[in-house]
Chain A
């Protein structure tokens, strides 16, 4: 597997679309916080680290968040996307490392149909 395949390329998509998905992810993080008593930073934005480094999700919470985001995207956009990724657990290339990276990755999958 080439490393390049693991990266979530930044897309040339309108800012408001990225922001929509960022907000959707933040909503789901907050739901997870309430449901599972997760310790979440007071302020969440696209630069917030989710996983790896100083991320606040452990691997199981990451699984729960990604599945919830898949379902929320389907409900909001009517498109079934898979956010499964071979680089998921990679510190450097994971598309789940920040809220913004996950939003970009989700949009990339949405565009791929």
Chain B
């Protein structure tokens, strides 16, 4: 059997980079993208500089995947941005940027990936939400709204894509040591962790483990689900 083809968005740093390296170690052919160039490279990895909210760039990337590999097995919609700010101090440009990357990006990548997966009658899509959604985190209104939308997209896509053999699921990590929370005060993180059943920071491997489960061929009867990590 050919090595699976796995597309991961937002692979320059953080969870995306970790997942890219993880699936390369497992023998996948990994395609990644980010808005800025990556400063790392691995055998079996192909990188595109693409903004997930840019339709033309995304369609070009998926066309090239179709030409190079003929199909796509997995899509991991990891790319995301956040902004910690009280709603009364949040400019609409920030709201638009968050919705563009987190919601439009997830929509666009899923739509184009599903067209490609449909050809083989098999696919796995994993989206990224956040524990900020069930915790209704104050100070993250736009981010929480965008990640709620990702859960909603996951549920509807699951129904629309089921007959193509494609499952769509979602992972909602808690705080991890990534750039996304670099500027968040320690007390805020501690308060957030206290609301988890297991009050510790998540690790990249915790996230990869949940994604692994959704990607397994044996998980074909699991779709439309969101796993929040840490017991939220």
Contact = CB atoms under 8 A, between A and B. Distances in A.
Interface of A: 60, 64, 67, 70-71, 74, 80, 82, 84
B140 interface: no
Given A60-B163, A82-B55, A67 B63 contact: no
Contacts of A80: 56, 59-60, 63
Given A60-B163, A80-B60, A80-B63, A70 B55 contact: no
Contacts of A64: 118
Given A80-B60, A80-B63, 13 more contacts: A60-B163, A64-B118, A67-B115, A67-B118, A70-B115, A71-B66, A71-B115, A74-B63, A80-B56, A80-B59, A82-B55, A82-B59, A84-B111
Interface of B: 55-56, 59-60, 63, 66, 111, 115, 118, 163
Contacts of A67: 115, 118
Contacts of A60: 163
A44 to B, nearest CB: 23
B166 to A, nearest CB: 13
Nearest to B59: A80
A71 B67 CA distance: 11
Nearest to A67: B115
A80 B63 CA distance: 8
- Which among A60, A67, A70 has the greatest number of chain B C-beta atoms within 10 A? A67
Closest 4 CB pairs of A and B: A67-B115, A80-B59, A80-B63, A80-B60
A64 B60 CA distance: 20
15 contacts: A60-B163, A64-B118, A67-B115, A67-B118, A70-B115, A71-B66, A71-B115, A74-B63, A80-B56, A80-B59, A80-B60, A80-B63, A82-B55, A82-B59, A84-B111
B198 to A, nearest CB: 42
A82 B108 CA distance: 11
A4 B30 CA distance: 43
A74 B115 CA distance: 14
A72 to B, nearest CB: 12
Contacts of A71: 66, 115
Contacts of A74: 63
Nearest to A84: B111
Contacts of B59: 80, 82
Nearest to B112: A82
Contacts of A84: 111
Nearest to B63: A80
Find the residue from B55, B56, B63, B111 having the highest chain A CB count within 10 A.
B63
A96 B176 CA distance: 47
Contacts of B66: 71
Most A C-beta atoms less than 10 A away, residue of B56, B66, B111, B115: B115
A67 B112 CA distance: 10
